Structures are given as C-alpha cells and as structure tokens.
Structure 1
Amino acid sequence: MADGLDAAMVTPAPSSHSPDSTLTARIAEATALREGPEGVAQVLRIVFRDGPLPLRDLARQARLPLPVAGAVRRELENAALFERGGGVRLTEAGRAFCAETLGLEGSAQPRPVAPVAAGPDLPEALHAVLGAMEEQVTAGPPVDVTLDQAPCTPETALRRALAMHEAGAVEGRHIAIMGDDDSMSVAIPLVARALGIGGPRRITVFELDPSRCRQLREAAERIGAPVEIVPQDLRDPLPAGFHGGFDVLETDPPYTLPGMALFLRRGLEALRRETGLPVFLSYGDLAPGDQLACLRELAALGLAASRIRPSFNRYAGASILGSTGQLLELRTTDEVPDAVEAERFAAPIYTGEVRPKLRRYRCQNCGTAVVVGHGESFATIERLKAAGCPACGETRFRREGLVRR
C-alpha cells in the first residue's frame, strides 16, 4: 500500500466561525429549487471546480433549466458568493464558503480530469494509485459467498470513486458505505489524492464481516484517511448515533431485491432528510423484467435515477453476476419513507437464502455423499473441505450435481 496521504487529504472539521451553513437552504427556498439545498451546493461545487463558467455551461453541468440556474446565480450574487467577470465565478467569500462549509480544497481554477471511461480501461489520472488499490484487494480476507461477497476489481473501485467525485459526492462530504467488500473506503481517498482534491470529511463503513472490518480499519490507518468502521449486521437497525448524519450513500448490496432494498433502507436511515442527496448503487446487469422490478423498488424508496451505467462494474469470479454489473446514480426525493425499521429484518436477503441451490459432493476416499448449501451442515464446498469428510476426514470431493428438494 502507498505511503500516507498528503496532509490535505484529511479535511479538518468546520470551525465554529464557518459561514452560515443554512444559506443553501435559504437560497433553495427563495428560488423554489426542487433539487433543494443540495442543488445549490452542487452549483457552488461546479463553479469552484470549473469556474469561471458561462451560465449555460453551469446549467448544463448542474442539470438545471437555464432560467433556474440564472435565479440561483442571482441569489448567490446577492449573498456575495458569486460575481460576474468572464463568466460565473466565486468571490473571496464564495471560496471561503466552499472551503469552510462544503469542505472543498485547492484553487477555484479549472482542473482537467479524465472522464470516467465507458469500458474497463482506467483513466490516466488514476494510474498513480492503482498499485495501492491492487495491494488492498489482494490482501483482502477470503470471500464468503454465503454473504454474496464478490469484490469488484481494483480498477472498478477507482472508477466508481471517480464517478462519485464527478457527481460532487466526495470533497467535504459525509459518506456512509453499507457493506464494503469493494474497499470503497480506500478507493475514495486514493482517488482524491490522485486528483489533488480534498477528501471527504467523514467516511463510515457499516460492515458485517469481522475480517473485512479489520482489514479496512488497518488500511484507513495506513493511508491516513478519515474512515470509521462500524461492525454491523444490516438486518439490524443502525445505532441511534448514526441516523441522519450523512449526505452521500454508497453500496454494493446482496444480489436480491430484498437484500438491495434492505441495504438502501439502512442507508437512508443514515442520510439527512433532504432532497437531492446522491446515492450510488452497484447491482447486477438485469433482464428487462428484472430491471423494471428493480426500478419499482427504488421508486418505492423515494429514489430517482439520474444516471444508469450498464456493465460499469467488473467483478473477479462473480459468476452470479456474469462478472459485470451496473452502476446506478440515484438522488433522494421528498418521497423517501419516514419510517425507520425498528426491528431486525428476518426475511432472507442473500442469494443462497432466496434462491437456494443444494449440491451433492462425494468423498473421494470413502464414498460418503454430503449435501452442501444453505440450511445444510456445510453451506459451501470450502467449508466442507476445511472440516473434512464427516466419515473419514478426507478433504477431496467430487461434485455430483444439484439436489432437488
């Protein structure tokens, strides 16, 4: 793994003298901005990163109608955060607001960033940190297929973090990650370093696997990133102290609709109650009917898709996904349900539980047949081999096929 991050990577908490953090809410209300305070903050982020900009370019990047973008600009000018001169630009007060309230770092000049590639190739800007990401993935604990673990490739993790940055979801953010088989808590700080930008103020990972928790915690210490690891079975409600404290959600959940919905519900518990907050969901590429069911589930959770990238993710050995999967960029709406799960979610969420497959293996020494799968003594062939044949202790087995019950 690479040496510790530059000092700029660990963003200090806002000082007590930070500019008024309710300003974005007041401007959103004054302009009747449907995207809410997050939409105003996104306009500021774009101008900080790429300004000065013509208004039409700002509107295009912010995905706002031109008159709406103009209204937001006027309110930010009235607040002395924007000024005109060769395009929309930040004032000194605007730069201070972006630094202290939004947690952005660096100059407010355009910074060329290689676009996220459509295929598996890694943008050149991220080559410098690929080795560190490869070491992180290689050093990971054994995969537990009963938990639908199928880590993405190092390149995918970096490209996904870059996509988050391009959506304004990295600098100065409070990011919640529901399950982190993909080591996104490592990829996000590494991408921030590669691009020379400020990192998140806070990354909190909710992870069930103790071995994965330990590895992620050690990685965070090694690279000097502001990451906290919370051991958590997401079938249980989040601890009360983690409700409503985050403004970005990232997850690569189990490959079932119940599992996906549960991970997103837990993530929504963690997010602030605000329209327009970014949510990044990685999920399998689906047939049209299954994709429709997926989008219906997202709509029921009050999440709107702003961008869908088929086959964006690459996975090593994830045959259940065909080794690829989509990245869905979502935004919260005012229809996110208010209810918080108060009890443990008892229904099946993992593939082996929802669509169980039982396989018969035969011991190559004594011929004893052993059925492997969910609900059996051995959930996987790996666990059977580790324990040995129940009759003779042999560790070599021959697969005979599926068992129908």
Structure 2
Amino acid sequence: MGAEEQAARTDPRAAVRTHLASSGPLRVPLRRLVRHLAEASEPLPLAQLVRSSGLSRRTVETFLAVLGTDLVREESGLALRPDVAPEYRDLAGTPATELDAAQLATPDAALDPQLLEQMDALVSAAPPPVAALDHVPATAHTVLRRALWLAASYELTGRRILLVGDHDLTSLALMLVCPEVEATVVDVDERLLTFVAEQAHARGARVRCLAADLRHGLPPAATGWADLAVTDPPYTPEGLRLFCIRGLAGLRDRTHGRLVVAYGFGEHQPSLGLQGQRAMQQLHLAFAAILPGFNRYHGAQATGSASDLYVCQPTPQTWKALDRAAPPETHIYTHGRQSLEGERDPVPPETVTAVWEAADVAAEASTLVVGSGLADTAAPGVRHVRLDTVLTSGVPRGARADVALGNLAGDPGGWLLRVLLALRVERLVALVPADHPDLAGGSLHPDVAALLAPLYTVDSPRAAGSGYALLRARRTDPDRLSPHQRLLRRVLERPHGTVATVWREALIALAEDLGLGRLTKNEARARIRALNPAPELLEARLVDLPRQRMSALVELVSRSADAP
C-alpha cells in the first residue's frame, strides 16, 4: 500500500490537501473535480467526471483513490458522503479569477477597466524598446489577459514564476492580478530591471530582478527555482531555442512544471514557423496547448502584430536534450550587430593593433585575452579565456595574468561592468561598441565609475575606428583606500560568490586588518542582519544583480564597516 493510499484511509481530507499541493498545474482542474463532486445532488458517472474536469481517466481515477472512505461508489456513479461534502466545498474553494480561462484565451476578452488602466499606465511608463534586442511591446490588454489566463489556468497563489526576459512586463501584470505570486525576472536590459524593481517595490510585490545575458547562462539563483516559466523570446529559431532552454533550466518541478512561450510568424511564412516549432520540438517538448493570436503588439507587423501562446510540457527526453544542448548561438536576434544577418567579420587588423598598443604589454608581463578576435601571434605566453566563462564563473585560477585585453565588441550593455569585476589584473584594455550605453557623453557612466572605484581607475574612452571604442583601466592602489573602500574591494573582488558569504568573510578580514580582534562568523552575520538587507541581495551573486541593486548593496556594505 502506497503512503498516499494509506493516508487516504486514515485522513482522506489531509491526503487530498497533500495531493492538490503537489499537483502543479493540475491543481486547478482537480479542484474543479472536487467542486463537481461536492455540489452534485446525485452520484456522477466516471465519464462525466472525466469530461467536466478535462483530465484523463487515469488522472481522475488516481485522485478518486485519494478520497478513500469519503467517496461512495454506487452503481449509478460516484459521490461524496453527505456529511463531508461541505468540508470538500470549502477545500475546493474558488478559482483565483472568476473569468474562465477559455474566455480569456480570446483576444477580445472583457477585462476589469481599473486593472486595464493600471496596466496601460505601466506599459506607457516602461523604458522604450531596444530594436537590437528584438523588443516589441505587447499591448496592455494582452499582458493583463496573459496574467489572468495564467492565474485561471494554474492557480498561482504561493507559486513561483520565472520570466525569461520581460520587456512585456508580465511580472507587473501578475503583481496586479495575483499579489501572492513570487516572480523572478531575468533580463539583459538594465533599464527594464530598474523599472520593474521600482514598480514592484512601490507596491510591495515579491518580484526579484536578476541581470544576465541569457546567451551565457541562467543565474544560479534562478536555476531550478520556478514552478512555471514564461517567455516572449526573439522569433528566430536560435533565439527561441535559447530562451526555451533557459526557461526549462529554471523549473524546479520536472513533472508538473510548464513552459509558456509566445511565438508567431506571418501567414506567408509557414517555413519560418516550422523552423521555430522544430526548435522547440528538438527539446522534446509536448505542446499541451496553442492559443492562436493570443498576443497583440505595438509593432511586429511582419507577424500581423500578433503571436500565439504555446503551453509546453517537458517530457523525460527534454532533460536529456538539455544536458546535450550545444553552446548557444551569439547571433539570435533579427536586428542589430547580434542579428542572424549581422556583422560576423572579425575585428579589423588595425583595431587589433590599436588594442595591443593601448595595452602596452611589457615583455615580462603575463597577458590574458578575454573573448576571441584579439589574438596576436607575435605575443608569446598569452593565455585565452572565453567571454562566457568570465561572465558566468570568473577567470580560472590557471589563467590569472598582469594585463588583460577584452573583446566586448558585441556587448549589449551589461558585459563591461561584469568583466571588470571578474578580472583581477593590474591593467585592462576593453574593446567595446562606440555607442555602448555606459559610454554616453564621452565618459564612463558615473554609476559604473562609482561601483568600480575601489578596484579600478578608468580612463576616458577613445575611438578605435570601425565603430569601436577603447577603454583602459588601472588597478587602484589598495594602500590608498579607506577602511570602507577596502571592505568594498574585498566584496567586489569576488563577484561570483554568494553575497552573504562574501560580505561576511570581508568583514572578518577587515577586522583583522584593522587590529580590532577576531570577528566571528556569527558576529559578522549579526552586523549584516542589523542593516536589514533584502533577502534577494544576500542570496544572489554580485555579478547577477542589476546595477541598481549593486549600488544599494555597496551602500549597505560601506555602512557595515562602521557597525560596532
């Protein structure tokens, strides 16, 4: 006898609660099944229960077994004992939204005007789209309907949702519809992350923002975390595949977890649509539902300003496919340098020469080249490391060097700061796009310069031709740093460690440096807790925090140097 069957014999209602809690997306139709049984005036045939719930006979029979002695089996059908029916009505409760999921699946579904007004204000206030990142804003009606449909279909209270990219602001729509949901947004756009974090904080919503270029991986804090993953990816097969892989990596329940994907193609491009669907099917995903024309956009006229909503259910083969997945393509977008048709030519020889001249590498110095395209066959003893390795896990111990050269020519905006944090070299020269968002106005962005001050002094950028700029940085002399800056330096030098651990150890080391005696781990933890940092700061890695959260962390770390 199984544990669940044994529990059903002794306490059926407790067994039902346990079964519902562990049923993931099936919880909504199972609760519907309970309501049908609890409200029925006569026994119901099994076929009717299957039909009304929309669940397979096997799933219905498995659930009925959990009801144990509370279920009466008669020749005419199945019924709950009259004395327990009221308790089951309470147990089933009501759906998260009174709107039916099938009704919400239609693009012209009627929505609460007040909620729609709030969503429209958020969409209007959001940062403008970035064409190079394939940003096409969804309408406020679409985003709100998407959140309502998710709430009606999956009962989100107490659940975790991962938004793999969120320029459409689905996280904020969920905040309006279901405040109890816990959401994590992973995006490469710092402006978007700042906006979402500010709006969520103002409303007390549980929305965590993490910065990442998904081509280089999903932050560990988001990996294996979610019950449901949602994404509206670039509509190239490469972009679709990559965002699906990251969404799947974020699921913690490999049996009940779901991946919800927006994807569309023009009616005159069925071959393109087939390529996108094949990209998903190569991950062995079952299409549990395809809601045609669900999403509407301000733009994307090539797809009729619309896309379908795919509900993807992983199979056992999905997880094997993820393990075998090849490294992602760099060119995944439809616009800009990183588009499929974008520039793939190597860095011009004269620009490579300019990088090496700016580095001015002495004969005895060891050199590290980050990324490809800057090789100098005349330079002996040069070590190479992949850019994605530096961004995701740092520089391998055997690749430490005095001078570093970084090819960040494809940086969408977030690489530069994180590469500078990850490298522990005396001098660095980085090749970046001339229009890099952190170089506006001919100098490094003040927020970035302030964050890096305990580590580097950064020169003004200079043109390198062919649409590139060179940025040079020199390691700051640690002897000139104040105690606050020395503490910050220790934290910033370990960007791939969990913030709570790195901060604690930095406090202990500082106390020893200043001759203040030994600070225990518990004392260091208490000093950190006294500042009441947000859990999302402590649980994440520094490298995964949006710049705004990095600045907030730096302020708290600095204050902790003065704590008794």
Structure 2 length normalisation: TM-score?
0.50
Aligned equivalent of 1:116, options 103, 106, 112: 103
Aligned equivalent of 1:177, options 155, 158, 163: 163
Q: Which moved more, 1:126-135 or 1:113-122?
A: 113-122
Whether the aligned pair in 1 keeps the contact of 2:224 and 2:249 (CA below 8 Å) is yes
Whether the aligned pair in 2 keeps the contact of 1:236 and 1:343 (CA below 8 Å) is no
Per-residue deviation, 1:235: 1.2
Q: Which residue of 2 aligns with 1:242?
A: 222
Q: Which residue of 2 aligns with 1:196?
A: none
Aligned equivalents of 1:208, 1:335: Cα separation in 2: 29
Per-residue deviation, 1:81: 10
- Quick one: which amino acid aligns to residue 76 of structure 1? V
- Quick one: which amino acid aligns to residue 84 of structure 1? A
Aligned equivalents of 2:156, 2:163: Cα separation in 1: 13
Percent identical pairs in the alignment equals 28
Higher relative contact order structure (alpha carbons within 8 Å, sequence separation ≥ 6):
1
Partner SS for 2:119: helix
- Quick one: which amino acid aligns to residue 310 of structure 1? P
Q: Which residue of 2 aligns with 1:68?
A: 58
Aligned equivalent of 1:316, options 275, 281, 298: 298
- Richer in helix (by share): 2
Per-residue deviation, 1:40: 5.3
Partner SS for 2:318: coil
Gap change, CA 1:215 and 1:49, over 3 Å in 2: farther
Task: State how 1:142-291 maps to structure 2 within 5 Å.
Answer: 142-168=128-154, 170-192=156-178, 199-200=180-181, 202-286=182-266, 287-291=269-273
Task: State how 1:23-42 maps to structure 2 within 5 Å.
Answer: 23-24=18-19, 37-38=23-24, 41-42=27-28
Q: Which moved more, 1:235-244 or 1:127-136?
A: 235-244
1:330 aligns with 2:312: yes
Per-residue deviation, 1:151: 1.3
Whether the aligned pair in 2 keeps the contact of 1:48 and 1:90 (CA below 8 Å) is no
Per-residue deviation, 1:86: 9.4
Runs (5+) with no aligned partner, structure 1? 1-18, 28-35, 99-106, 194-198, 359-373, 391-405
Whether the aligned pair in 2 keeps the contact of 1:80 and 1:93 (CA below 8 Å) is no
Per-residue deviation, 1:343: 9.6
Q: Report the number of matched residues.
A: 327
Whether the aligned pair in 2 keeps the contact of 1:169 and 1:278 (CA below 8 Å) is no
Q: Which residue of 2 aligns with 1:33?
A: none
Aligned equivalents of 2:96, 2:333: Cα separation in 1: 44
Aligned equivalents of 2:85, 2:211: Cα separation in 1: 42
Per-residue deviation, 1:79: 8.5
Partner SS for 1:351: coil
Aligned equivalent of 1:356, options 324, 328, 341: 341
Whether the aligned pair in 2 keeps the contact of 1:261 and 1:297 (CA below 8 Å) is yes
Aligned equivalents of 1:211, 1:221: Cα separation in 2: 15
Aligned equivalents of 2:197, 2:71: Cα separation in 1: 39
- Quick one: which amino acid aligns to residue 308 of structure 2? Q
Gap change, CA 1:75 and 1:188, over 3 Å in 2: same
Q: Which residue of 2 aligns with 1:46?
A: 32
Return the index of the structure with the highest Cα Rg: 2
Partner SS for 2:173: helix
Task: State how 1:96-135 maps to structure 2 within 5 Å.
Answer: 107-108=93-94, 112-114=98-100, 115-117=102-104, 119-124=106-111, 126-135=112-121
Deviations 1:236-274 (A, max 9, x none): 222323322211010001121111111110111110252
Aligned equivalents of 2:104, 2:114: Cα separation in 1: 16
Q: Which residue of 1 aligns with 2:557?
A: none
Partner SS for 2:167: coil
Aligned equivalents of 1:238, 1:216: Cα separation in 2: 19
Partner SS for 2:178: helix
Runs (5+) with no aligned partner, structure 2? 1-13, 73-77, 344-409, 412-431, 443-462, 464-564
Q: Which residue of 2 aligns with 1:78?
A: 68
Gap change, CA 1:93 and 1:120, over 3 Å in 2: closer
Structure 1 length normalisation: TM-score?
0.68
Per-residue deviation, 1:134: 0.6
Gap change, CA 1:295 and 1:58, over 3 Å in 2: farther
Per-residue deviation, 1:85: 4.0
Aligned equivalents of 2:433, 2:223: Cα separation in 1: 38
Whether the aligned pair in 1 keeps the contact of 2:96 and 2:151 (CA below 8 Å) is no
Gap change, CA 1:156 and 1:92, over 3 Å in 2: same
Q: Which residue of 1 aligns with 2:276?
A: 294
- Once superposed, what is the RMSD of the aligned Cα atoms? 4.1
Whether the aligned pair in 2 keeps the contact of 1:43 and 1:58 (CA below 8 Å) is no
